[in-house]
Structure 1
Amino acid sequence: MAVMASDSQKTTKRLLVGAIDLGTTFSGWAFSFKHDYDSDPTKATTKHWQSKSGTLVTEKTPTCALVNPDGKTLKAFGYDAENEYRELLDKGEEDNYFFFKRFKMKLYSKIGKDLKRDMTIEDEFGRPLLAADVFGMSIKFLVDDMLNNAGKGIDGIIKPSEIHLVVTVPAIWSDAAKQFMREAAEKAGISKERLTIALEPEAASLYCRHVHIHKPGEIGNVSMNKLPIGTKYIVVDAGGGTIDVTVHETGSEHTLREVKPASGGDWGGIMIDKEFENLLIRIVGQTVFEKFKHEEKEDWIDMQREFESRKRETTVDSDGKTGMRIPASLIDLYNQDSQLDLCTSLASSQYDGLIELRRDKMKISNKVFVQLFDKSVTKTIGHLKSVLSDGTLKDVRVLLMVGGYSESPVLQRAVTEALSGIKVVIPVDASSVVLRGALIYGHNPTSISERILKYTYGIDIAPRFREGVHPESKRFEGPDHCIRCANVFGKFVTTGQTVKTGETQKTKKCCAYRQADVLVKIYASEREDPVYCDDDGCLEIGKLRIAFDDENNTSMREVSLSMLFGGTEITVELEDKCTGKKKITTVDFLG
């Protein structure tokens, strides 16, 4: 196979690598210098974020963006966004601003779901802005904050061209979602040449392959850096929005290869938040809950933060109770609307003895609180068992849990009890290993040697019509006066196929007749051998416009089109056979 110029060939000038993790619930950054990476690949500088009170210190900050009234500039991000929005609420000035939380999930989509550049997203209270602007402003804040911290030691020493940035995304995201994130990063001022998209489970797996992560007394007496070459293991990346499940195999020199493509769903931590909202609605009613959410915004934000804290602490102790503050404004709204006392109502409801209210303190039995996890846990366990039912994975004995949601004792217990015979490994600071691993990938993209394709990819071609083979409905006369068949699927690669990093998988020829350019449509299917582009399950996912840069108007222009699938994004190399010129480009998945 031919090797195309790829990300793996552009590492010599990466003197500083920075990683950006714009998560669904929490976000953060990390960086490392080349000389530090060479001596210790796990060495990284991260930021410890503080809430306003200073009592809460985390390695990530809430994914909250407060946007100025112009809709184009950011006022604050993270804890600062939450705190400044409260101040605006106190002053009654909040209506002119936009407050976004957990907006990353807007990009969760599977094959066939449209994502467009001009799509809008609504803030917490239904006010829309262009999604690309919100993502771009957020990424820019994280990049600027990271460079301000790193810049204290690099002024005049490292050129901007020697700084490389890695943005992480869930592995189960669609090609369109990955492209959207790349373009948002470019909108934030990161040039294409200095930007890499990394898959979150891969990054986490890379980091854990370099460190001894077992602590005495922890579940799973296994060290990932001691696994023999050729060992297969499952990676569960459980975040706030999605849960990615991938299977990796250890390689030499701390490398790894993918042996089963990423799969999963939107079963992350925010599914539990939604179940908590449903619990409140069952207690106070839909009308009171919506009124509270929109009229008592500051209290709503405070309650969300408190629930996030309680959610992380919840254990499976059925005899315990979880206490949290319930805003007096919610209690008052219920009492006014129903003409009843909430405390009395609880005592005469299905939650008698399970949920108690004393003034503004609600005590919820662990039995009820753990039930909030049921949907998320059930879907996750069911999917893991489905993955393990693959006969090729019968030798898997290790499961690595990473991501913020992996720190939940409820999820940990469910996974270990459901998967007997498999040792579960949970690294210290599971929520930050993606950032640290992204730095390793940024310094050495060849750490990932092989990947497995999720889909069969191809282009729309029109070969000569074959009597008795092609349907008459697809017969047409081409510009060259030959009888051709329309909409034939010209396959490049097959679902389940192993592809190597940096290698071109296949080359095809495209022809344009008396045209200055030609539009090539890219299709994907979960089937191995689709015949026509309009078959069931075969979907157009992107376009590639080939523009010629001269005025040679011959009767036919031939272009050699080579596609590289081994990276986190699809790359294309074009060669104009008339001029011999070549160029690297990408597929447009956003239309």
Structure 2
Amino acid sequence: MHSYIKVANTAIVAAIDFGTTYSGWAYSLRSNFDSDRTKASTKLWNSGSAQTEKTPTCILIRPDGKTVEAFGYEAEDRYQDLAGTEEHMDFFYFRRFKMSLSKKLGEKLDRNMTLEDAMNRCLPALDVFAMSIKFLKDDLLAVLPDRHLGNIKMDDIHWVLTVPAIWTDGSKQFMREAAIMAGIKSKRLTIALEPEAASMFCRNLPIEATNCDSGSNISSLSIGTQYMILDAGGGTIDITVHEVDTDNNVKEIHAASGGGWGGTTVDEAFKRLLIAIITNDVYEAFKRDHTDDWLDIWRDFEVKKRTITTSSNSPVRMRLPSSLTDKYYLVTKQKLAIAVKGSEYASDIQIVRDKINFSAELARSWFETSVVKTVHLVKSIMSKNENVTAILMVGGFSESPVLQNAVRAEFKQMDIIIPSEASNCILKGALIFGHLPKVITERVLKYTYGIGSFETFVAGHHPPKRLITTDNGFVCPNVFSKHAEIYQRVKIGEPQVWHTYSPQYKSQTQMSFSVFASEKPNPVYTDEGCILIGTLQIDLVDHDGALDREVLVAFTFSGTEIVVEAKDRKTGNQSFVAVDFLG
């Protein structure tokens, strides 16, 4: 099934790193991979002032809601041009929409959900994700002839799409369905977990390609050594622990944990400050009526926030558009500079002509939520994994001096290892994962998984209120049939315990199963402490309506997606069944 596709003979592995803030693509030839696993071909995107290996995750869609006008830097520029001539209102402009898929266990994710764009207009989320993935896919394919690879066909390529490890199974399925809509065949697609991809890349990096005071490197760690991967992205902080295994492989020894407090929380803190200063009404009116200047502020902030450190006392200076001060005066009948002087921010904010200055202390406070939550989570995980000797910091937000300093200051006894290209190692590591999908030999389950089943009713054991009658007689429904337990270590590709299930009615030609997850190790009933996470259907071979048409079912959890294997006991017929996590 999809997580275990053999890709050894694939001519090219192509990876799409679909990030909250930035996205990009890369590919590697099988012929080059064997000699250098870190070698990757990427695209340099033109920002206007520099070239980068990633481009902003923003998409501009034409008024028909179906045609991509531009993506990335070009989408930003084109939307700003449209806003300058007030033609933008009919277009759809989406940015940083990946976090709409970041759900907790039990939170509903629907394939029919919609997304709001910058002007609060909606399109189906699946369409927006699919159009974005298709743009990146087509952009990669378009350069192959220029790189003397014009004879490569789609079936010669295995695609890898990255997602946060903390995402639910439904979120992963959503991305798979979006990729299929984008024209990638399911059998040619692997979903890779971002911290794992980063770990794989860094396992193959030379020491000189990392930033570590002790000179250590993940690639030099001996078998049995444990290290933490702190993947700090734009949207999520995603943390797991790996142990070096034989043959350059690794085991996951602590299930991924984290949350949505990545780099964009800095932007959210800045936005809250702006609204506190100018009021929400002024902010919304400014965004609506002067969209080009609103975009300029956020572009300026994206650059300025990267310069904020823990040591500098220099203020953060940004351009203040006259359209904003004019809008503030129009709504409040007061000059913004005078209002700020009389506010609680008087000592931290100064407005001088067309500039607004924020004190260094105030600027550092924008990082507080993310830094405090991240350090707290790292401490918690360390307390349960006392043999961890190093922290590998990856992801774009790991390049922040504020976050780096906080981690170094709190965990002085640890080797803090930061790759020189921390923001790109997920993308390039996804290529390694595509070539070697079994490089992660073990994973740790985040939940207990099982199926809702029926048991013969036993008086005194089952509550009377649960008694129902089927063709099998008196039975108790909604019994939790456990297939794997929380924190259990599972080996890649190995089905877990097999359980046997039988139809309850003679007329059945199909068996429907409800799949549940729980944070309890041993749930008894599916309606007590369990969350319905998906469903699956298994066709029955008709044996004249017999009730002994037994089906054996096993789950394989050690891939990045759950695989279900079913066997008909009488015929021996075997099949793989997809769990529908989106309902």
TM-score after normalising by structure 1: 0.95
SS where residue 575 of structure 1 aligns?
A: strand
Match of 1:573 in 2: 565
Cα distance per residue 1:293-339 (max 9 Å; x no partner): 22211111111111011111111125211111122111111122232
> Does residue 429 in structure 1 map to residue 425 in structure 2?
no
Residues 161-172 of structure 1 aligned to structure 2 (within 5 Å): 161-172=155-166
Cα distance per residue 1:509-536 (max 9 Å; x no partner): 222232121210000001100011011x
CA contact (8 A) 1:441 1:447 kept: yes
> Does residue 43 in structure 1 map to residue 39 in structure 2?
yes
CA contact (8 A) 2:162 2:194 kept: yes
Cα distance per residue 1:162-182 (max 9 Å; x no partner): 210000000000110000001
* 2:329 aligned residue (309, 331, 335): 335
Aligned-partner Cα distance in 1 for 2:148–2:191: 24
> Does residue 89 in structure 1 map to residue 89 in structure 2?
no
Deviation at 1:37, TM superposition (A): 0.5
- Unaligned stretches of 5+ residues in structure 2: none
Cα distance per residue 1:439-482 (max 9 Å; x no partner): 0000001111000000000001111122222111112222222x
> Does residue 138 in structure 1 map to residue 137 in structure 2?
no
Alpha-carbon RMSD across the aligned residues, in angstroms, is 1.7
Alpha-carbon distance change, 516 to 317 in structure 1, aligned in 2, over 3 angstroms: same
Residues 212-231 of structure 1 aligned to structure 2 (within 5 Å): 212-214=206-208, 218-231=212-225
Alpha-carbon distance change, 583 to 278 in structure 1, aligned in 2, over 3 angstroms: same
Alpha-carbon distance change, 155 to 234 in structure 1, aligned in 2, over 3 angstroms: closer
Alpha-carbon distance change, 505 to 6 in structure 1, aligned in 2, over 3 angstroms: farther
> Does residue 526 in structure 1 map to residue 519 in structure 2?
yes
SS where residue 445 of structure 1 aligns?
A: coil
Aligned-partner Cα distance in 1 for 2:537–2:5: 26
Aligned-partner Cα distance in 2 for 1:345–1:521: 59
Match of 1:178 in 2: 172
Alpha-carbon distance change, 155 to 419 in structure 1, aligned in 2, over 3 angstroms: closer
* 1:12 aligned residue (8, 17, 40): 8
> What number of residue pairs does the alignment pair up?
580
Residues 12-91 of structure 1 aligned to structure 2 (within 5 Å): 12-51=8-47, 54-91=48-85
- 2:113 counterpart letter in structure 1: M
> Does residue 209 in structure 1 map to residue 213 in structure 2?
no
Match of 2:144 in 1: 150
Deviation at 1:46, TM superposition (A): 1.1
> Does residue 455 in structure 1 map to residue 451 in structure 2?
no
CA contact (8 A) 2:207 2:215 kept: no
Cα distance per residue 1:325-382 (max 9 Å; x no partner): 1221111111222322222332333233422212221121111100111111111111
Aligned-partner Cα distance in 1 for 2:319–2:213: 33
CA contact (8 A) 1:516 1:553 kept: no
Deviation at 1:131, TM superposition (A): 0.5
* 2:288 aligned residue (288, 294, 319): 294
- 1:543 counterpart letter in structure 2: T
Alpha-carbon distance change, 237 to 415 in structure 1, aligned in 2, over 3 angstroms: same
Alpha-carbon distance change, 156 to 554 in structure 1, aligned in 2, over 3 angstroms: farther
Match of 1:243 in 2: 237
Match of 1:347 in 2: 341
Residues 377-456 of structure 1 aligned to structure 2 (within 5 Å): 377-390=371-384, 393-456=385-448
Residues 476-555 of structure 1 aligned to structure 2 (within 5 Å): 476-481=468-473, 483-512=474-503, 513=505, 514-535=507-528, 537-548=529-540, 553-555=544-546
- 1:491 counterpart letter in structure 2: K
- 1:525 counterpart letter in structure 2: S
Deviation at 1:551, TM superposition (A): 5.6
CA contact (8 A) 1:207 1:433 kept: yes
SS where residue 400 of structure 1 aligns?
A: strand
SS where residue 520 of structure 1 aligns?
A: strand
CA contact (8 A) 1:169 1:198 kept: yes
- Unaligned stretches of 5+ residues in structure 1: none
Aligned-partner Cα distance in 2 for 1:352–1:12: 63
SS where residue 550 of structure 2 aligns?
A: strand
Aligned-partner Cα distance in 2 for 1:172–1:40: 30
Alpha-carbon distance change, 220 to 265 in structure 1, aligned in 2, over 3 angstroms: farther
> Does residue 278 in structure 1 map to residue 269 in structure 2?
no
